[in-house]
Structure 1
Amino acid sequence: MTKLHSKLIWVILIALTVFVGYLYFMPKQTNDSQRGSAAVAVSTAKVETKAMIRSISSLGTGIANNSIALVSPTNDFITELHISEGKHVKRGAIVAKLHDVQERARVTELEGVLEDQKRQLARLKNLATSQATAQSLLDEQQTKVNTTLAQLDIAKAQLAEMTIAAPFSGYLGLRLVSEGAYVNSGTVITTLDDLSVLRVAFSVAEHYLADIKVGMPLTVTNSAYGDIEFFGKVSAIDTRLDPITRTVTVHGALPNEDLRLRPGMLLNVQLELDNRMAMQISEKALVPQQQKQFVYSVDANNVVHQTEVTIGQRIPGWVEILSGLNEGDVVVVEGIQKLRSGVTINQVGS
C-alpha cells in the first residue's frame, strides 16, 4: 500500500514538471513560430492630400425663370390669334386680339371732345388777358379739359387690354382657345415660359442652414438624361423654414439654352457645401477605442504600429486627418482584425 502511494506521488510530480515545462517553453516556441511564419497579408493605402468635397443631396422641382398664363382681361370675341405652340416670342409680340370696335370708337370720341375743349380753353385764356371774361369760367373750362383727359386715359387703357401681348421673351405653350371664340374674363388663352434659365426648388434640413450661401455651386441630374450633369448656383434662400418639416426652401439657377430641362421635372440636386484640400485616409483604416481613434501605421520594415490620430470632417468613405499622421504615411485599411503592434505584414493591396 505504501509503495502504491509512493508511485502515485511520483506520477503526480512528473506530470506537474511536464506541465510547468510546457508553460515555460510554449510562449517562446509560439513567438519563434510567429517570427518564422509568413507575414500577415493586409491591404494598405497612403495618406494623401486631396480635395475634400462635402455635399448634401435633395430632390427638387424645375421652375421656369418667368412663367405666366396669358388670360383674357374681359368678356368678348377673339378676332386674332397668333400662337405658334412651343415657339419663341419676343417681349411685346402680339399673341391675341379681342373685338375692340367699341373701345376704339370711345377713344376717337373722347379725342374729338378733348380737342374742342382745348380750343375753348385757349379762347378763354385770350379773353382773360384783356379782362373780358371771368376767372371762374376759365377754371371751369380747365376742369372739363382735365376730366376729359382722365376719361381718355381710361379709354386708351381699355383699348390696350383688348390686345394681349407677351410681357417678356419666352416660349408659348399649347393653344387653349380658337380664333372667333367668345371668352370670359380670366379665360386662359395659352402659357408663356422663360426657359433660358431654369430654377430648381429643393428643401434642405435646418441643420445645414448656416452652411448654405447664395452662389454655392450645385449639380443636377434627371432620369431623362441618365448620368449627364447640369451645373448651376444657389440663387435664393427662403427667409422662413417649414415649421412641420424643419426644412428651408432653396432655389438654384441653371443655364438652359439648349432647353433640355423643363418646368415640373423631378431633379436630383447635389449641393456642394465645402471644397478644400485636406489630408485624408479611408474610413476603414480607423480603429475606434472609447473616445479615441487609432490606425495601424506601417514602417519601412513592414511592421505595424498602433497610432492615435485626430480626425476632422467626414465624407462618404473618407475622413480628414488633423494630427497623428503625415502625408505619404502608409496605413492598413483591410485585415485590421488580425493585427497588433509589432506584427510584420505583407502588403497585398496597396
Structure 2
Amino acid sequence: MRKPASSFLVAGMTLACVCFLVACHRAERGSEAKADEIPSARVATAQRGNIAHTLSLAGQFQPYQVVDVHPKVTGFMVKINVDIGDRVRKGQTLAVLEVPELSAQLKGAGFEMEQAKDDLLRTQHEIKRAEATHAALHADYERLLEAAKAEPGLVAQQELDDAQSKDLASESQVDAAKAAADAAREHTEVAHADKDRVQALQNYTNVVAPLDGVVIWRYADTGALIQSGTNSNEQDIPIVRLSESGLLRLRMPIPENDVQFVHIGDEMEVRVDAIGRSFTGKIARFTRDVNFETRTMETELDVENQDLSISPGMYANAQMQLAHADNVTTIPVEALVLKGDQQIVYSLDSDNRIHIRNVQVGLRGSKLAEIKSGIEPGDRVVLGGQENYTEGEHVLPILSQGIASEVVHESGGVIDMKGAAEENDGGAK
C-alpha cells in the first residue's frame, strides 16, 4: 500500500516542475517580444568644445625693397668698393666716378662767386662814399639857405640853386649806389647757387647706398663709362642692384573664398623648412584685389631678418586661422536635419523619448557643428535615420563616443621640401 503512494508523490512533483518551466519560458518569450518592439537609435551627447577652420598656404619670401643704383652724373668708373653678397649700410660709398668736366666747372663757379663777392664789396664802399659826399653837399646847401634867410641878398640866388642841385644829385648817387649793391648781392647769391649745383654734381661722383641691404648683382667694372640715371633711357645700366633683405615680405596667395577672413594684424604660423625655423607673423597688408586668372588675393607678412638667415626666394608654409568658435556647444553634423529653412535635431529626454527641437547653428566643421540655441551640453541627440522616428516615440539609445572639438584644415597649396628632396634623390639614383 505504501509503494503506490510514493509513486503518486513523485509524479506530482515532476508535473509541478514542468509547469514552472513552461511558465518561465512563456514569460521570457513575452519579455523578448516587448523588447523587440522598441526601436534602437544611435545617439551622441552634446559637449562643450572648439571649432576652428585653418588655411595652409605656400608663400615665398621677397626683399622688402629692391633698388637699381644709378649715378646722377655720367663718368668713368674709378673704383668700385662692393661685390655681390656684400652687406652695405645706407650712405656707404659703393663706387667712385671721374668727371673731368665737373672739376673745371666747379673751379669756374668758384671764381665767379669770388668775383661776385668782390663786386658786392665794391658797391658797399661806393654807398659809403656817395653817402659821405651827399652829407657834405647837403650841409653846404643848408648853411647857404640859413644865411640867405638871415640876411636877404647876402647869397646870390644862383649860388643857392647850384648848392641845392648838387645836394639832390648826391642823394641820387646814394640811391644808385644802393641799387648797384642790391644787384651785386643778387649776383653773389646766383653765383653761390651755381657753385652749390656744380658741387652737388661733383659729390654725385661718389655713388652711395640709398638703403641698408645686400648687393645681389654687380653690373659695372673699373674703367667703364657709366651713364647717368636721370633720364628714361632703359639701356642705361645701373652700377649695382641692392636688396633690402634685413626685412622681408612673405607673399602668399589667399583663395577667393577665404578673402573675407583676412584682416590686418591677424597672426599666421610660418614654417621655413629650408632652415628649420618656425615663427609667428602678422598680416601687414593685402592687395584688396582678386587676380582674375588665379582667383587669389596677394597677402604679405613683414618678417625681420637681421641675421640674413632667410634668403629672398625661399619658400615657406604658413597656416592662418580663418574662423573659430571657442567654448561652445558642439554636436555631430549627422544630428542636423534641414526642414525647410530651419535646422532641427531629434533629442532624447530622460525617459529615452524623442523630442524634435529647432536649433540655431553657428560655425560648421566637417564633423561638428556649433549650436547657439536649442541644445545644451549633456543633451543627447539622434545620429542619422531621423526620418524613422516620431515625436514622443520611446527608443533604445546606443551611445556613440564622439569628439568635442575639431580643427578643419583647408589647403591653398603647400611646399613639401622633404618630399621634393626625396624625389630629387630618387631621380639621381
TM-score w.r.t. the length of structure 1 is 0.72
Identical-pair percentage? 22
Query: When you count strand as a share of all residues, which structure comes out higher?
Result: 1
Superposed CA deviations along residues 253-282 of structure 1, whole A, max 9, x for unmatched, are 233344344444555554445555241535
How far residue 121 of structure 1 moved from its aligned partner, in angstroms, is 1.0
| Structure-2 change in CA distance of 1:67 and 1:45 (3 Å) | farther
2:361 equivalent to 1:311: yes
Residue equivalent to 1:49: 49
- Name whichever of 270-279 and 95-104 sits farther off: 270-279
Residue equivalent to 2:188: 145
How far residue 238 of structure 1 moved from its aligned partner, in angstroms, is 4.0
**Partner Cα distance (1:162, 1:315) in 2:** 64
Alignment gaps of 5+ in structure 2: 1-30, 131-172, 229-235, 403-429
Which of 230, 237, 241 in structure 2 is aligned with 1:191? 241
Q: Is the partner of 2:221 in helix, strand or coil?
A: coil
Residue equivalent to 2:204: 161
How far residue 97 of structure 1 moved from its aligned partner, in angstroms, is 1.4
- Name whichever of 311-320 and 201-210 sits farther off: 201-210
CA contact (8 A) 1:285 1:331 kept: no
Residue equivalent to 1:119: 118
Which of 338, 341, 346 in structure 2 is aligned with 1:289? 338
CA contact (8 A) 1:278 1:320 kept: no
**Partner Cα distance (2:222, 2:205) in 1:** 14
| Structure-2 change in CA distance of 1:344 and 1:84 (3 Å) | farther
CA contact (8 A) 1:302 1:346 kept: no
Residue equivalent to 1:85: 84
TM-align CA RMSD: 4.0
The correspondence of residues 115-264 of structure 1 with structure 2, limited to 5 A, is: 115-131=114-130, 134-185=177-228, 186-202=236-252, 204=254, 212-221=262-271, 224=274, 229-238=278-287, 249-264=298-313
Q: Is the partner of 1:79 in helix, strand or coil?
A: strand
**Partner Cα distance (1:276, 1:33) in 2:** 42
**Partner Cα distance (2:36, 2:124) in 1:** 126
How far residue 93 of structure 1 moved from its aligned partner, in angstroms, is 0.8
- Name whichever of 178-187 and 276-285 sits farther off: 276-285
Whose radius of gyration is greater, 1 or 2? 2
Superposed CA deviations along residues 174-207 of structure 1, whole A, max 9, x for unmatched, are 2232222233343122221222322234455677
CA contact (8 A) 1:216 1:234 kept: yes
**Partner Cα distance (2:129, 2:297) in 1:** 74
Query: When you count helix as a share of all residues, which structure comes out higher?
Result: 2
CA contact (8 A) 1:56 1:270 kept: yes
How far residue 60 of structure 1 moved from its aligned partner, in angstroms, is 4.8
Q: Is the partner of 2:84 in helix, strand or coil?
A: coil
Amino acid at match of 2:190: T
Amino acid at match of 1:324: G
CA contact (8 A) 1:47 1:330 kept: no
- Count of matched residue positions in the alignment of Structure 1 and Structure 2: 318
**Partner Cα distance (2:379, 2:286) in 1:** 43
Residue equivalent to 2:36: 33
TM-score w.r.t. the length of structure 2 is 0.60
The correspondence of residues 3-18 of structure 1 with structure 2, limited to 5 A, is: none
Amino acid at match of 2:267: P
Amino acid at match of 1:158: L
Q: Is the partner of 1:141 in helix, strand or coil?
A: helix
Q: Is the partner of 1:214 in helix, strand or coil?
A: coil
How far residue 43 of structure 1 moved from its aligned partner, in angstroms, is 8.0
Superposed CA deviations along residues 197-237 of structure 1, whole A, max 9, x for unmatched, are 222344556776665432222344556468x6443222234
| Structure-2 change in CA distance of 1:275 and 1:88 (3 Å) | farther
**Partner Cα distance (2:269, 2:47) in 1:** 29
How far residue 155 of structure 1 moved from its aligned partner, in angstroms, is 0.7
Residue equivalent to 1:344: 396
Q: Is the partner of 1:130 in helix, strand or coil?
A: helix
CA contact (8 A) 2:73 2:201 kept: no
**Partner Cα distance (1:98, 1:147) in 2:** 27
How far residue 302 of structure 1 moved from its aligned partner, in angstroms, is 8.0
CA contact (8 A) 1:49 1:327 kept: no
CA contact (8 A) 1:216 1:273 kept: no
| Structure-2 change in CA distance of 1:156 and 1:282 (3 Å) | farther
**Partner Cα distance (1:178, 1:207) in 2:** 51
CA contact (8 A) 2:251 2:298 kept: yes
How far residue 77 of structure 1 moved from its aligned partner, in angstroms, is 1.9
| Structure-2 change in CA distance of 1:328 and 1:43 (3 Å) | closer
